[in-house]
Amino acid sequence: MDARPIACLIYDFDKTLSPNNMQEYGFLKGLHIEPGAFWAECREFAIENRMDGVLAYMYKMMEKAQGVMELSRDVFRRLGGGIEFFPGVRDWFGRINAYGDSLGLTVEHYIVSSGLTEIIEGTAIAPAFREIFAASYCYDASGRPLWPSSAVNYTNKTQFIFRINKGILDVTNDVDLNSFTPEDRRRVPYRNMIYVGDGLTDVPSMKLTRSKGGFSIAVHPPGETAAVDDMLLQNRVDFALTADYSAGSELERVVQAVLRQIVAVDECARLHASHLDAARRHIDARKARPVTYEGKWIGERE
C-alpha cells in the first residue's frame, strides 16, 4: 500500500459545477437558439431514431452549426472559456487539496460527464482534474469533428468509477480493467471516493459509490431541494447540499468531515493489514519449527 492514502472527488459537470448545461453558454448563444427548443429537438430526434440521448445531442450540435458556426477541437475549447460556475468553484480544488494535505491525504479530482470533453478542457478549472471522462468526437487532420468517439450516458458513467478504483484511466485498456485485482492492491479504495452530482442521471454512480463504501453528495441551486430531498430519503445519497463551493460553506464542511473519516478508516485498515501480516508470519514460523517429543526430534511440521 502507498505510504500516503489517496482520496478522490468525482464530479458530474453540468448543473453540478456549472449552473447550466455547457452547450447553453457560447454554443447555443452563438447560434441564437433557445436552449429549451434545442433540448426538446434532441429528445424528439433520439426517440424517433431509438438513439442514445448523448449521441443525439452530439449529432444535433454538428447539424445546427453547419454553415453557421465552424466547429473544431479548438473552437470547443474556446467555448469552454465562457462557462460560468457556482460560487467558490474556481478555488475549491486548491482549498480541498490543501486540507487533504494537512491530514496527510492526497486528494484527486475527476470529471465524469455527459458533456463534451473538449469544452471542459477549455474551462478555467480543467487543470484541477487528474482525468476528464466525457463525451468526445474524433477529428480530421484539420481538427473538425467527424464522428463521436465516446458517449458517456447515465449508466455507463459507472465504468469510470471502476477505472478510478483500479487506476486504469486509459479508456482503451479494457484488459487490465476487467482483470482480477485484489481489493488491497487497488489504487483508490471505493471507501475513499466522494461522488458529487445533481440529479437522476447521476443516481447509478451515486448508488454504486455508496454501495461500495464511498460517499455521494447531491447538490442543488439555492432553495431547489425537491429532487435531492427525494434522493436523500431514498438512500441514494448521503448528503443533499446547496451548490456553494465557497470557503466555509456547508458543502466544504461536509467534504472536510468525510476526508477526516477517510483518514481514520484508512489508518484502521492499515493496522488491520499489519496484524494479518503478523499472524501469517507467526503461522509460517510455527510450521517451520521442528516437532519434538520428550525432547527428541521426530520430524518437521507439515
Q: Cβ distance 201 to 54 under 8 Å? A: no
Whether the predicted pLDDT of 300 surpasses 60: no
User: What is the per-residue DSSP string for 236-289?
Assistant: S-SEEEES--STT-HHHHHHHHHHHHHHHHHHHHHHHHHHHHHHHHHHHHHHHS
The pLDDT confidence band at residue 1, using thresholds 50, 70 and 90, is very low
The confidence band for 2, taking pLDDT boundaries of 50, 70 and 90, is low
Where does the chain show beta strands of DSSP type E? 6-11, 106-116, 131-139, 145-150, 193-197, 215-220, 239-242, 290-293, 296-300
Give me the domains of the chain, ranges plus CATH numbers.
Answer: 6-18+86-271 (3.40.50.1000)
Residue 180: per-residue pLDDT = 87
Count of alpha carbons within 13 angstroms of residue 112, beta-carbon side:
29
Q: What letter would DSSP give residue 8?
A: E
Could you tell me which residues are beta bridge partners of residue 148?
137
How many CB atoms lie under 10 A from the CB of residue 201? 18
Model pLDDT for residues 122-158, shown as the tens digit of each residue: 999 999 999 999 999 999 999 999 999 999 998 899 9
pTM: 0.89
Cα distances (Å, whole numbers) of residue 239 to 29, 116, 137: 34, 27, 34
pLDDT at residue 77, rounded to an integer: 96
